[in-house]
Structure 1
Amino acid sequence: MSWPEPSDHRTNPEQNSFIPHDPPVKGKPARRWRLAVASTWLTTILLMGLGHGSISYAATTRLPPSSTSGVHTTAATTENRLTYTAVEGAHYYTIALRSDGSVWAWGRNMFGELGVSEDIRYRHTSSPIRIPGITNVIAISAAGSGINAAVQADGTVWEWGAGTLPYQVEGISSAKDVVTSSFNIALLRNGTVMSWQHPGTQGNHSEVHRPHVISGLKDIIQVGSSGQQGYALKKDGSLWTWNEPSQPDNPPSKPAKLKGLSNISSITSTDTSLLVLDQNGKVWALGEKGKPVLLHDDLKVKQMDGNSQYILLLTTSGEVYSYGRTVTGKEGRVKHLSGITDISAGYHHSLALSSDGTVWGWGSDKYQEAGAPATSSGGMVYQPVQAKLGIDVYINDELFQSTYSAVQTQYTVQLPVRAVSEAIGVAFERNQVNGIVEAYSLQYEDRTVTIRPNELEATVKSTSSSTAQSISLPEPIVNYSGATTVPFEVFEALGLTVNWNEETRMLTIQSDT
């Protein structure tokens, strides 16, 4: 194909984008094809309906041996070590796919972006929380509108966020990838494409419109979108586009081949334009009137992502470069990153996945969307920080999940006390005087544990003894993301068997009843 001469489009103070602007369109940038084949280390079966309280699932795999000691760690083998396999950044939050096929999220949840409750909101969480009701996931996508989607290994597509729990998209049973934007697109296993609109109102699943087939498309290997424009990359390297109707009752336009483009290996959109990666590792932007413009000819790129403000480029050597109005205000190579295999350009923070399955975040961190507390003033992270792996909690061999996550700290794991107590059958009370909490009490069978705020000691009293026993706690009772949390050692003091395995990211609680 005939390409124009190279041009290094870097941002100047008067330029709001890294490429010449087409007329602005709405919508989250369509994510590049994310397919992370997840090993089924832990398969779970949904037992209870979704609700804003706690949720339990049956464990179908053998749990670690119980132990009366508080901490039990073993060296995990490479095969069963949990890692992240894909990551997506959106507006002030992050979702990530773990190697066991589970999906986790962290960051802002003021508008229900994380999709863990239809009723409860809280400002943020940096501790990853597991998305309920979906398992064996192979692909994920996140949108700026707060809508997220995933494909399960059985080919079904699930959506959540913007105040809704995960629900299955009707009419799709053989998907292998999904892209969320102002409308959604699914790539099917047979190389065809389906698209559909978002719900008309928050939480109203009845207004989700059934997917329709984009006629004339076959042998497709990747899909994307920008505003109401859909894109499909064929196996032969050609690129096709169609217009998605803004009214759900209207059919999409007939796909048309984009002329002058060939030998394309991947695509991604940036809200206002399309980025194209050719088979030689060169990145092209479709600028004014669809004219291709070569970007950063000095780099050999294997992956790209971006939005209307900036782009991320991942080179074949595993280095990350950022250009435009970047999340830190600096262009060029992102320092302190190497061996990177995946990238994601969130609107205010950036993310990278390393070859060892670690997620790194930088940029805006007002809601700890980067994955850890901010390291600089103004809620910023200038040097990438490592995001944590989520913690699975099992109660009597059933996977437990509440609206609030378990939180690993330097000394222990903090648990949302009310939700865990309800699941076990522990009576939890706050003892108040004139509206001020003076103590918290947990009662289980013949034992009662009393904890005072800000203290590192608790008292344990048993009906079989006339004297109370004092125990030390690694941390006091605290409030995290709006939930009261206690160290797991408190439940041990109630006579429960608690096991925390940091390698497998699993905490188990067993009762005798």
Structure 2
Amino acid sequence: MKKWTKLLSLALSLATAAGIPVLSNAGMAEAADTAASVTTIAAYGPDHLIKRDGSLWVWGDSRPVPTRVPGLTEVKASFGLAGGGGLAVKQDLSVWQWQTNAKTSAMETVQVPEMTGLTDLAMVQGTYLAINAEGAVYQAEFLDNGGGSVSFSPVAGIDGVTAARGYSEDNEQGSWKRFLFLKQDGTVWTSTDQLRSFQPVQKLSGILQLESNFALAGDGTVWTWPIESIYNPVAGHDVMNPVPVTGLKDIRILHDNGRSTLAIDNNAGLWFRGMTITGSSDGTAFHEQALPLRFSGIRNVTDAYIMERSIVALTSGGKVYTASIGEETITADAVFTLLASNITSIEGGGRHVIMQKSDGTLWGWGVNKNAQLGYANYDFSFDQPVPMQKPVTLTLNGETVNLTSGVITRSGQNFVPLRSLFDKLGAIVAYKENHTTTPTSSGVTASKVEKIVTITRTAVSKPSLSISINTVSGETTVNGTVIALATPPFIVNGTLYLPLRFISEQLGATVSWLPQQEEIAISMK
């Protein structure tokens, strides 16, 4: 189940701890280019951020850096959908859905008229469950058809809901989805017949939080119940029988990833219960530790997540520590290693975490296979946290320019996707590949590929202009004269990025950087 994204209202505070662990020289240079301003980010999650101007920015999948969702203003919350889309809630409580066009890669936005005030979104085995501020429940089926809107419809028979969760179950007779609903009165209700009927779960009252097959009660106890499967038959599977988790008490925060559970108690102690992992690929093995243990090597924990085979924990001193669960067993005296300092909050994304420093910048750590860290590449992972790229707005004569992928900054220069801006400045952009072969003295034929971008001016009233860029060698000419570029164009995930200022100014535009707004303002007569 894809976890729903929670939002935090961010309090900016001073920190006394040291900075992020030292990167390489190249990493330090890029960090200076990519750090975001403290004044711009109002809220963030593992795959999005909301700026103080109400704009929504997303990254991941086809977008290696934060990219503005077009047409949305006054956004207050965001929830991710599978397949490269999401739902946004505006200040007027209207709900808007954005999806990625499979053909053009552009983000398209439409209002969801049947819903207002979305507060929670969960996916249970292909079914979305959405909750609004009034406690109504809506459902939609995820169709993996490469885009398109998700259509929500109201669920009858249950109301007063604050959160929804669920999972799949099966036995020798078949399989089903178990939906769980936390109501405003602290009771929990369940459905196993595709949302046609609902029953209260006995013994669960005063519940504050649902996580998979766990429930956190207001008195600090944690309750659990078995998940039915052919490997774990449960007598009378249609009737849940929750029991308190032995050893867990005075708990105030609970996180579960389906295999393992982290809990934080009222004394800021960190607890673990569940699976450790060894091996890889087909040889992966899971080792269950049913009895909770309280770690002795870390204190003052304010938040924690399980990420792949690591525990990531934030302390009240603004430090983030990590410990491995990649062993057959984990003990109370497990070693926690300092990962980052000067951190005010963290958000877990399953395989990665996003952290905000006290200066407002966002940093990421963990798996980056699908650009989860917003770091402008798709390297699988990093040993140390890396800085996220700036959420840079691009305007032309005062109007926002919508990009399929955001501005990338390298060595102090800004780059934009090949077909995103320059046609709006009166240019024709063309791309071609030249393939040549040359016989060598050893009789082997050597092949060479040149990838050439040409940019020509279309206005007959202005002097002719022809820019040619060899994206392999970096050789650049303007009207036949070779020009040296400090940083050559580059390709990220199949998208070619060109130097914004250099080409814009050659076309006669004026380019200005507005640091307070994090905006590149281009003017063109």
Instruction: Tell me the alpha carbon deviations over residues 181-232 of structure 1, each in whole angstroms, 9 at most, x when there is no partner.
Output: 3344545445x353423333435757623143773536x5xx3524244353
In structure 2, do the counterparts of structure 1 residues 208 and 430 end up closer, same or farther at CA, with 3 Å as the change threshold?
closer
Q: How far apart are residue 490 of structure 1 and its match?
A: 1.1
Q: How far apart are residue 400 of structure 1 and its match?
A: 0.9
Out of 179, 184, 193, which is 2:121 matched to?
179
Structure 2 match to 1:505: 518
> What SS class does the counterpart of residue 452 from structure 1 fall into?
strand
Instruction: Tell me the alpha carbon deviations over residues 316-350 of structure 1, each in whole angstroms, 9 at most, x when there is no partner.
Output: 333334456479xx975452422323323333323
Structure 2 match to 1:197: 140
In structure 2, do the counterparts of structure 1 residues 243 and 148 end up closer, same or farther at CA, with 3 Å as the change threshold?
farther
> What SS class does the counterpart of residue 500 from structure 1 fall into?
strand
Out of 109, 131, 147, which is 2:69 matched to?
131
Q: Which moved more, 1:480-489 or 1:136-145?
A: 136-145
Out of 488, 502, 512, which is 1:476 matched to?
488
1:230 aligns with 2:230: no
> Following superposition of structure 1 onto structure 2, how do residues 65-144 of structure 1 map, counting pairs within 5 Å?
81-83=39-41, 85-88=43-46, 94-109=47-62, 125-142=63-80
Tell whether the 8 Å contact from 1:360 to 1:385 is kept in structure 2 after alignment.
yes
Tell whether the 8 Å contact from 1:361 to 1:370 is kept in structure 2 after alignment.
yes
1:395 aligns with 2:396: yes
Q: Distance in 2 between matches of 1:374 and 1:419?
A: 19
Tell whether the 8 Å contact from 1:30 to 1:269 is kept in structure 2 after alignment.
no
Tell whether the 8 Å contact from 2:320 to 2:343 is kept in structure 1 after alignment.
yes
Structure 2 match to 1:299: 299
Q: Distance in 1 between matches of 2:272 and 2:165?
A: 14
Instruction: Tell me the alpha carbon deviations over residues 436-460 of structure 1, each in whole angstroms, 9 at most, x when there is no partner.
Output: 5556132142241322313454324
Q: How far apart are residue 487 of structure 1 and its match?
A: 1.2
Q: How far apart are residue 287 of structure 1 and its match?
A: 7.0
Q: Which moved more, 1:150-159 or 1:403-412?
A: 150-159
1:212 aligns with 2:131: no
> What SS class does the counterpart of residue 50 from structure 2 fall into?
strand
Tell whether the 8 Å contact from 2:136 to 2:159 is kept in structure 1 after alignment.
no
Tell whether the 8 Å contact from 1:362 to 1:384 is kept in structure 2 after alignment.
yes
Query: What letter is aligned with 2:160?
Result: L
Structure 1 match to 2:173: none
Q: Distance in 1 between matches of 2:374 and 2:393?
A: 17
Tell whether the 8 Å contact from 1:30 to 1:179 is kept in structure 2 after alignment.
yes
Q: Distance in 1 between matches of 2:387 and 2:183?
A: 33
Compare the two structures and name the one with the higher strand fraction: 2
> What SS class does the counterpart of residue 340 from structure 2 fall into?
coil
Q: How far apart are residue 382 of structure 1 and its match?
A: 1.4
Instruction: Tell me the alpha carbon deviations over residues 135-194 of structure 1, each in whole angstroms, 9 at most, x when there is no partner.
Output: 32222334677664332222233444586844444422123x33333344545445x353
Structure 2 match to 1:424: 425
Structure 2 match to 1:270: 257
Query: What letter is aligned with 1:85?
Result: A
Q: Distance in 2 between matches of 1:348 and 1:263?
A: 31
In structure 2, do the counterparts of structure 1 residues 334 and 425 end up closer, same or farther at CA, with 3 Å as the change threshold?
farther
Instruction: Tell me the alpha carbon deviations over residues 445-482 of structure 1, each in whole angstroms, 9 at most, x when there is no partner.
Output: 2241322313454324xxxxxxx776553333443433
Q: Distance in 2 between matches of 1:308 and 1:30?
A: 17
Instruction: Tell me the alpha carbon deviations over residues 369-396 of structure 1, each in whole angstroms, 9 at most, x when there is no partner.
Output: 3333789xx8331111111122111112
Query: What letter is aligned with 1:415?
Result: V
Q: How far apart are residue 413 of structure 1 and its match?
A: 0.8
Q: Distance in 1 between matches of 2:136 and 2:513?
A: 44
Q: Distance in 2 between matches of 1:214 and 1:307?
A: 37
Tell whether the 8 Å contact from 1:29 to 1:306 is kept in structure 2 after alignment.
no
> What SS class does the counterpart of residue 380 from structure 1 fall into?
coil
Structure 2 match to 1:459: 478
TM-score relative to the length of structure 1:
0.65
Tell whether the 8 Å contact from 2:397 to 2:523 is kept in structure 1 after alignment.
yes
> What SS class does the counterpart of residue 490 from structure 1 fall into?
helix
In structure 2, do the counterparts of structure 1 residues 230 and 339 end up closer, same or farther at CA, with 3 Å as the change threshold?
farther
Q: How far apart are residue 101 of structure 1 and its match?
A: 2.7
Q: Distance in 1 between matches of 2:396 and 2:326?
A: 44
> What SS class does the counterpart of residue 313 from structure 2 fall into?
strand
Structure 2: gaps (5+ residues): 12-35, 168-177, 206-215, 221-251, 276-289, 437-449
> What SS class does the counterpart of residue 404 from structure 1 fall into?
coil
Structure 2 match to 1:28: 2
TM-score relative to the length of structure 2:
0.64
Tell whether the 8 Å contact from 1:428 to 1:443 is kept in structure 2 after alignment.
no
In structure 2, do the counterparts of structure 1 residues 415 and 240 end up closer, same or farther at CA, with 3 Å as the change threshold?
same
In structure 2, do the counterparts of structure 1 residues 338 and 143 end up closer, same or farther at CA, with 3 Å as the change threshold?
farther
Tell whether the 8 Å contact from 1:149 to 1:160 is kept in structure 2 after alignment.
yes
Tell whether the 8 Å contact from 2:99 to 2:149 is kept in structure 1 after alignment.
no
Q: How far apart are residue 267 of structure 1 and its match?
A: 4.5
> Following superposition of structure 1 onto structure 2, how do residues 328-347 of structure 1 map, counting pairs within 5 Å?
333=336, 335-347=338-350
1:361 aligns with 2:364: yes
Tell whether the 8 Å contact from 2:136 to 2:154 is kept in structure 1 after alignment.
no
Instruction: Tell me the alpha carbon deviations over residues 237-256 of structure 1, each in whole angstroms, 9 at most, x when there is no partner.
Output: x8543335573x63454466
Instruction: Tell me the alpha carbon deviations over residues 113-140 of structure 1, each in whole angstroms, 9 at most, x when there is no partner.
Output: xxxxxxxxxxxx4332223333322223
Instruction: Tell me the alpha carbon deviations over residues 7-48 of structure 1, each in whole angstroms, 9 at most, x when there is no partner.
Output: xxxxxxxxxxxxxxxxxxxx12345x424489xxxxxxxxxx
In structure 2, do the counterparts of structure 1 residues 415 and 278 end up closer, same or farther at CA, with 3 Å as the change threshold?
same
Which of structures 1 and 2 has the bigger CA Rg? 2
Q: Distance in 2 between matches of 1:437 and 1:205?
A: 34
Name the count of aligned residue pairs: 406
Query: What letter is aligned with 2:477?
Result: A
Instruction: Tell me the alpha carbon deviations over residues 236-287 of structure 1, each in whole angstroms, 9 at most, x when there is no partner.
Output: xx8543335573x634544666258324555544235766655554566787
Q: Distance in 2 between matches of 1:271 and 1:393?
A: 41
Q: How far apart are residue 492 of structure 1 and its match?
A: 0.5
